[in-house]
Amino acid sequence: MKPVDLMIFDLDGTLVTSGRDISASVNHALAALGLPALEETAVLEFIGDGVRRLIERSLGPASQDRCEEALTIFSRHYDEHMLDTTVLYPGVAGMLRHFHAKKKIILTNKRHRFAAAMCDALQLTPFFDDIVGADSTPYIKPDVRLADMIIDQYHVHPDRTVVIGDGINDILLAKNAGLLSCAFLEGLTPRQTLLDLEPDYRCEHLSEITGFFC
């Protein structure tokens, strides 16, 4: 097993099954603007680069002038409905208990207030040293400056730090910064897309990582 001192977890699609609720709020915003709904699978492809990029992609090229309005409607709806169907992935709580002595943070391109509220509601917050959202720092995944800042803050070495996530940006962040990467293949990103990035580790169930790291 590989010794690690810091574990960096993604949130959406890694710890929590949030895709359906995100899609519902996107389509609520589109409907409010009189625009056609999108298939859930299409919305899932737009997740990962923050809420503004999610809304921009969902609006399409012809409606970019309505981005601020759509963002406001989305945020209001998501604030009230982010937990309609969202739950922890199987094995998450047990895995986190296993690593109770490790430094662990959540690093997400979700806005901090949404991430913090979700983690509080799903009882994730006590497991983590910090929750870093898209608006918590000047940088978002996969910007290497974000990783450098975290490495400095926690006084850890890159090769003893692992990023665990289901997104392209999780794997790219790790690779850009010389960190270990672990792809969760049952999240929001197609598994082959992640495998093509050649992560250091991959799992189909988060409980598997208890056998990867110590």
Question: Would you please indicate which residues are annotated as catalytic (active-site) residues?
Answer: 10
CA distance 150 to 196: 26
Per the listing, tokens 């919305």 go with: 43
Report whether 56 contacts 105 (CB < 8 A): no
**3-state class (DSSP) for residue 105:** strand
Given the structure tokens 């309505």, which residue do they identify? 66
Instruction: Tell me the C-alpha distance between 22 and 48, whole Å.
Output: 11
The number of beta carbons lying within 10 Å of the beta carbon of residue 104 is 18
Distance (Å, whole) CA 210 – CA 199: 17
How far apart, in whole angstroms, are the C-alpha atoms of residue 211 and residue 205? Answer: 11
| 170 within 8 A of 158, measured Cβ to Cβ | no
Residues 6+ apart with CB under 8 A from 183: 165, 166, 170, 171, 194, 195, 197, 199, 201, 202, 203
How far apart are alpha carbons 24 and 81 in whole angstroms?
Answer: 9
